Structure 1
Amino acid sequence: MAAEITLHRTAHGTLAGHVFGANHKWATTALELAGFSPADDGIHQLSMDDFDQTRQALHQLRQSARDLDVTVTLSPQPYLGDVAVDLAQRLPGQWEVDLAPLPEADRHEDLLAWVWSPGRLPAALEQHRIPCAARLTGDGTELLLVQPDDDNECVIGAMLPSLDLDFMDVVVDGPQSVSAASTHIAAAVIQNRLLPQYEEALFSSRLIESEDDLRWAQETYEPGEVVKPYPGELVSALNRFLHHASELIAHVRRPKAGLTAHEDAFVKKFEAHLRRAQKDGGDAMSLWLAEGERLLELASAGSTREPTAIQPPARFAAPVPPRPAAVTSTARSR
């Protein structure tokens, strides 16, 4: 279809209109001629408080759509905004919901570049007509929610960690996508499987980046060659380590990591020296080059001690697709 409008009844007593297609601007025109108003999220809404006005608006929409060659469909699916809000309220912590209209298929490709979860989420964006997606953001974690047009299930997956992409290459698979027929089930699987897998994948990326940077620095520079002013690429590598250091230390110091007394003493000393160097302008470079390898060894060993994440019911299992291409930040030097 060149231009389509999909209407959804919302939990707030309105009709929400999504537009889609190569000529989606004509669909938008038809909605506005009928009295639909664009909300802050870009979705057009029509209040249904007054029955006569609603009937008149829908009559006008039908006429305008016919004149402009626009197809109008009333969807039996729940409104995506309501689904996203309900899901966010069931997840641990505080989550913000942001709707992302996708009126053109090209927008799907733009969004796909930021999808980290393999499985049903990228497949849905590639194969289905999806006029709108919802982003859920909580404590640095970004999730994407879509409703394929011919499916009664919602599909949720992780987005790439945008706050960290300037400091690392994401070279590991993200958590598997989740699909469920209700937000209650989806929230349980997200909490028990997707979020633990997300944290594990993010930590693995931090660790791999830190190990690669330190190995490169040790292979490129002899100890006596590292003098101020430090080379720019070496400073960039140190800054990436400093960005990850607090998360690496927190990972090492968790109770389940099982540190020995000697290891615990080393981590406390490293953390104190790092804090002093960052606060008082001390030499974080020397600390990183001399002691960073030991910290990374403990972080790597701690990750192998981690218990396996809770597995979802078999009905949510999905085959693992081929490894996605690495995503490289543009703000890097090494």
Structure 2
Amino acid sequence: MAEAKIVLSHSRESGIVAIASGERYPWAHTALAESGFQRDDEGVWHLSTDGTQSTVVDLVTCAKRHRTSVHTSSHRFIGDAATSRACCPVSDTPQLRSHPAWQEDLIPWIWDSGELGRALQSNRIPYAATLTDAVHGTTLLFIERPGRQLDYLVGAFSPEGLEGGYGDPHAASSCRPPPGAAQALTDRYLPSYEQAVHARQTVAIAAVLGDIRCEHDTWQAMNASGRYSDATR
């Protein structure tokens, strides 16, 4: 991964936006600040449309001084993409998650047996968007599909009270929402996710009941013999 990198994309509401990444991402932050960009609470740097052309040129020049590369994304801004492809089933606007140099806080909590889980294991995902299912409160993760232009992946975080994360055979498989078809989440992914959660809960309950039954059988055997497990009366 590049030591310091700036990715520029276009936001419907904010115009040109930038996200910094790389092991030396503070260098990118410095270049953006010196070039007139302003950072919001989610880690996105914004530039108004006024004077955009000259300021972007200045950014490229400034970035070179700070050993930072500047790239233009082939994707639209991740927040806009998440809104357009997943607006039907979610309760609020997407929240950006920026991971400029690490993503370890994502991998253990993603409950996925499909492509999204594999992508997080093998690719750097410097930013993503989270959404909340309005019906069940499920938190979804929306990322750009690595190596594919204009394509995205959606998966979910682990349900509350259950563990397992990526690789759990009971987890639902992430989906690729097609353009203009947000109902793909409502009609296909979310129902399959709820079914997977039910199956996982059933297995967990069966395991607990099995432990209780084993303990009960052991106690009955000791009670009938009149001795504890160490043979004392």
Q: Provide TM-score, normalisation by structure 1.
A: 0.58
SS at match of 2:188: helix
Per the alignment, residue 78 of structure 1 pairs with 76
* C-alpha distance in 1 between matches for 2:158 and 2:92: 17
* C-alpha distance in 2 between matches for 1:124 and 1:209: 27
Q: Which moved more, 1:64-73 or 1:126-135?
A: 126-135
Per the alignment, residue 34 of structure 1 pairs with 35
Q: Which moved more, 1:150-159 or 1:170-179?
A: 170-179
- Aligned partners of 1:33 and 1:60 also within 8 Å: no
Give the structure, 1 or 2, with the largest relative contact order (CA under 8 Å, sep 6 or more).
Answer: 2
* C-alpha distance in 1 between matches for 2:116 and 2:193: 15
Per the alignment, residue 267 of structure 1 pairs with none
SS at match of 2:61: helix
SS at match of 2:16: strand
Letter in 1 for 2:55: A
Cα offset, 1:78, TM superposition: 0.7
* C-alpha distance in 2 between matches for 1:203 and 1:157: 17
- For structure 1, the 5+ residue unaligned runs are 226-334
Identical pairs, percent: 28
- Aligned partners of 2:177 and 2:185 also within 8 Å: no
Report how many residues are paired.
214
State the superposition RMSD in angstroms.
2.4
Cα offset, 1:217, TM superposition: 2.1
1:199 and 2:200 are equivalent in the alignment? no
Structure 1 segment 92-107 matched on structure 2, within 5 A:
94-104=91-101, 106-107=102-103
1:177 and 2:177 are equivalent in the alignment? no
Structure 1 segment 274-289 matched on structure 2, within 5 A:
none
- Which runs of structure 1 show a deviation greater than 6 angstroms over 4 or more consecutive aligned residues? none
Q: Mark the CA change 1:67 to 1:149 in structure 2 (over 3 Å): closer, same or farther.
A: farther
Q: Mark the CA change 1:31 to 1:116 in structure 2 (over 3 Å): closer, same or farther.
A: same
Cα offset, 1:63, TM superposition: 1.9
Q: Mark the CA change 1:25 to 1:43 in structure 2 (over 3 Å): closer, same or farther.
A: same
Per the alignment, residue 15 of structure 1 pairs with 16
- Aligned partners of 2:140 and 2:155 also within 8 Å: yes
Structure 1 segment 251-262 matched on structure 2, within 5 A:
none
* C-alpha distance in 1 between matches for 2:74 and 2:8: 9
* C-alpha distance in 2 between matches for 1:178 and 1:131: 20
- Aligned partners of 1:117 and 1:157 also within 8 Å: yes
- Aligned partners of 1:158 and 1:174 also within 8 Å: no
* C-alpha distance in 2 between matches for 1:149 and 1:204: 30
- For structure 2, the 5+ residue unaligned runs are 221-233
Cα offset, 1:129, TM superposition: 4.1
Per the alignment, residue 219 of structure 1 pairs with 214
Cα offset, 1:219, TM superposition: 2.6
Cα offset, 1:169, TM superposition: 6.3
- Aligned partners of 1:156 and 1:179 also within 8 Å: yes
* C-alpha distance in 1 between matches for 2:164 and 2:5: 39
Per the alignment, residue 65 of structure 1 pairs with 63
Letter in 1 for 2:207: D
Q: Provide TM-score, normalisation by structure 2.
A: 0.81
- Aligned partners of 2:86 and 2:185 also within 8 Å: no
* C-alpha distance in 1 between matches for 2:186 and 2:146: 26
